[in-house]
Structures are given as C-alpha cells and as structure tokens.
Amino acid sequence: MQIQRDVDLQSCNTLAVPSRAEFFCSVTTIDDLREALSWVQKRQLPLHLLGGGSNVVLDPEIPGLMVRMDIRGREVVSQAHDHVVVRIGAGENWHQLVEWALSNGFYGLENLALIPGTVGAAPVQNIGAYGVEVSRFIERVDGVTISEGEEISLRAEECEFAYRDSVFKNRLRSRFVITAVVLRLSRRFQAHTSYPALQDVLGEGPVTAERIFNAVCQVRRSKLPDPETIPNCGSFFKNPIVPWDLYEALAERYPGMPSYDASSNIGPARKLAAAWLIDQAGWKGKAVHGIKIHQHQALVLTNPSRLPADVVLDVASMIQMEVKAKFGVLLEMEPQRIGS
Ligand code: EPU
C-alpha cells in the first residue's frame, strides 16, 4: 500500500468538484486497510473513506488521509434450491454485481440496475430504486473497526436500515469501515413491478428478470444524466417524510401532489416527492451560478462546469429555502459531505 501526498480527487467524484486530499491511498486487502488505519492513528490525522465517489460532495481541501476502498471479490458462500448467499468485496462495482447476479440466475437485484457506486457504499445509504431497497437482500455486513482494526460483522437487524439511512451513516460513522457485503439472493424470480414508470416501459408480455433489468436501465437512462458526461451525484435531496396534518393540508391545496405511505410505529406519516416540490417551485431545467437542475428530473443537480462544492451547496440551499417557503417542507441533503 502506497500513501501519496496532495492528490487530485476531481476524477474520483462524479459531481466533478475540484478537491485535493492531503494524503491518499487505495486499499485492496484488509491488511492494507489496517495499515492505513494505524498510519492515521500514529499521526492523529482525520480519516475519510471513498467508494465510487457517486454520493459525495467533497470540500476543496481534504485534510488527513482519503482511503479508497478497492477490496474486490465475488464469492458464492452457500447455495440451496431456492436461494444463494454471496459475499461481495466492498470495492466491487454495484452495476457489475447486478449483471453478474442476473447472468448466474441469482434474482432480486434487477430493479437496482445502473445505480452508480460500489458495493460497500450500498448499505450506507441503503440504495433503493423502483420499489426495491438493498436492505431487503442484506444478510450481513463485514468490516473493520477504526479504533482497533478488529474484524466484525453486523447482522441485517443491527444495521438500522431505513429509507436512505443506516447505522453506518449515524452511530458507526467514523467508527467502522465496510469491507464486504453478504447478500441472500433468490433462485426463483419474483417480479417487483409496482413502480408506475417501470410498468409503462414494461408494457404487455411475460415479465422476466432480464426484461425488468432492461426496463430499469431504459427508465434511468431517459431520466437521469450519465455522470460520465454530465457531472452529478444522483438525487441531491431525500424524499421528505412529513407528519400527517402537513400532508393533508398540502394535498388539499395541491390535489395532484404525489405521495407515498410512510407510517411507522411513531405514527401516521407520508413521504412526498422532493422532485415534484422542486419542480413546482420552478427549478426544473433552471441554471443558477453554473449549476443546472436536470431537465428530466428536478432532484438531480448537475455541475457541467465542474465548479467547487460551495457553489453547488449555495444553489442547494436556495432550493431548500424556496421549497420551505412554498410548502413548509424542509429538504434534507442526500449525498454525504466530506472534508468539513
Ligand atoms: N416528479 C416531478 N418532477 C420531476 C421528477 C419527478 O414532478 O422533475 C414527480 C414524478 O412524476 C413522480 C415523483 O415526482 O410522481 C417521483 O419521481 P420519480 O419516480 O422519478 O422518483 P423520485 O422519488 O424522484 C427516487 C429516488 C431515485 C430513484 C427513483 C426511482 C430518492 C431520493 N430518489 O426518486 O434515486 O432512482 O426514486 O425509484 O429516493 C438516487 O438516490 O440518486 C436516485 C436517483
């Protein structure tokens, strides 16, 4: 493992913000990772983790060591007639995993095709799309504690999965590094086609996993900008979960407003579509200070001129203020900030 000094991270983040890490290394094994952990501990420096860089907003100067998780490997741990358990290295590419699973007849991940990023990042924000979240398949998350370098595993119940949330974003942030994810996939295909946009593309005919995979890729390609050509980090805000009375007041004022059930043991609640709120506030397709709100999906902020994080964050807070003023709803940022 080699630690480099003053490394340019602009090509390591899909939002393409200019950023430099004071120190940088890529780890491909658990021993490498342990070495990196003791290196920062010895020097009392901050530690940061990077996967595919597709859900982060990086500061221009990142003090300490940026560790890119490049631990690879796909392994079938056990097989039964109706399911298979696979263990996937944190540094594997998510979409390539989806393709590999499908080609082996391991079903479940097809709705999650084309999500950018790595396997190790998937549980952190509990990636989800077209009616399916990754938490549904996670049996265990393996990793290493930052303080001791000790290998431990968390069972799915311990991961505190919720909508775009997990223990890794909260209590275990800065305490635990994910090195592998253990997934239980089905050998019997079961279609999840309740999402309206997916139904529209699928049309008639028998539904197969391959058809869902192709339909998801088609919908995503038509609505979401490809970060390879237009820098972005996917949804910039979470869909807000609001109390029932606020939902009712808004639904009366805006009868066409999309919303989804989000009631829990805390009480009745409703999830609203952040994209719809931003769109209604007049932001869709608009360009402000060089940041463009995507014309096909108002939840995605694009950074065509590769401007720094503060410009993106300024525009994001303008959107938050206008949505709050118009609807009384606070939008929470979805990608993680690194450096500050
Ligand atoms: N809508 C608008 N204007 C827009 C876009 C959408 O009014 O510009 C409306 C749609 O008509 C729909 C509703 O808003 O009624 C929801 O839109 P959509 O189905 O496109 O999904 P979303 O809730 O905006 C979420 C995820 C996406 C994921 C899609 C599909 C979050 C924060 N985002 O978006 O995830 O691909 O569902 O399942 O939950 C990501 O996290 O980076 C991401 C792209």
Q: What pLDDT was estimated at residue 266?
A: 81
Q: What pLDDT was estimated at residue 244?
A: 94
Q: What pLDDT was estimated at residue 183?
A: 98
Q: What pLDDT was estimated at residue 264?
A: 81
129 lines ligand 1 (CB under 6 A): yes
Q: What pLDDT was estimated at residue 204?
A: 83
Asked whether the whole model's pTM tops 0.85, one would answer yes
Percent of the chain with pLDDT over 70: 100
Q: What pLDDT was estimated at residue 14?
A: 98
Task: Kindly list the domain boundaries of the chain, sorted by start residue.
Answer: 4-69, 74-186, 232-338
Query: Residue 334 catalytic?
Result: yes
Name the CATH code of domain 232-338 (choices 3.10.560.10, 3.90.78.10, 3.30.930.10, 3.40.449.10): 3.90.78.10
Residues 204/205/209/213 CA torsion (nearest 10 deg): -40
- In the reported structure, the alpha carbon of residue 74 is separated from the centroid of ligand 1 by a whole-number distance in angstroms of 31
What is the atom index within ligand 1 of the atom nearest the CA of 224? 44
Q: Ligand 1, residues 276, 294, 319: which to mutate, most atoms within 8 A of Cβ?
A: 276
Q: What is the distance in angstroms between the CA of the first residue and the CA of the last residue of the chain?
A: 26
Question: Distance between CA atoms of 166 and 143, rounded to whole angstroms?
Answer: 15
- Whether 232-338 and 74-186 are alike in CATH topology: the answer is no
74-186 is classed in which CATH architecture?
A: 2-Layer Sandwich (3.30)
User: With a cut of 70, which residues of the chain have pLDDT below it?
Assistant: none
242 lines ligand 1 (CB under 6 A): no
- In the reported structure, the alpha carbon of residue 273 is separated from the centroid of ligand 1 by a whole-number distance in angstroms of 7
CATH class of 4-69: alpha beta
Angle between helices 94-103 and 209-223 (to 10 degrees): 160
Give residue-wise pLDDT tens across range 265-320: 788 899 999 999 999 999 999 999 999 999 999 999 999 999 999 999 999 999 99
- In the reported structure, the alpha carbon of residue 33 is separated from the centroid of ligand 1 by a whole-number distance in angstroms of 36
3-state per-residue secondary structure call for the chain: CCCEEEEECHHHCCCCCCCEEEEEEEECCHHHHHHHHHHHHHHCCCEEEECCCCCEEECCEEEEEEEEECCCCEEEEEECCCEEEEEEECCCEHHHHHHHHHHCCCECHHHHCCCCCEHHHCCCCCCEECCEEHHHCEEEEEEEECCCCCEEEEEHHHHCCECCECCCCCCCCCCEEEEEEEEEEECCCCCCCCCHHHHHHHCCCCCCHHHHHHHHHHHHHHHCCCCCCCCEEEECECCCEEEHHHHHHHHHHCCCCCEEECCECCECEEEECHHHHHHHCCCCCCEECCEEECCCCCCEEECCCCCCHHHHHHHHHHHHHHHHHHHCCCCCECCEEECC
Q: What pLDDT was estimated at residue 156?
A: 98
Q: What pLDDT was estimated at residue 263?
A: 84
Nearest CA residue ID for atom 24, ligand 1:
275
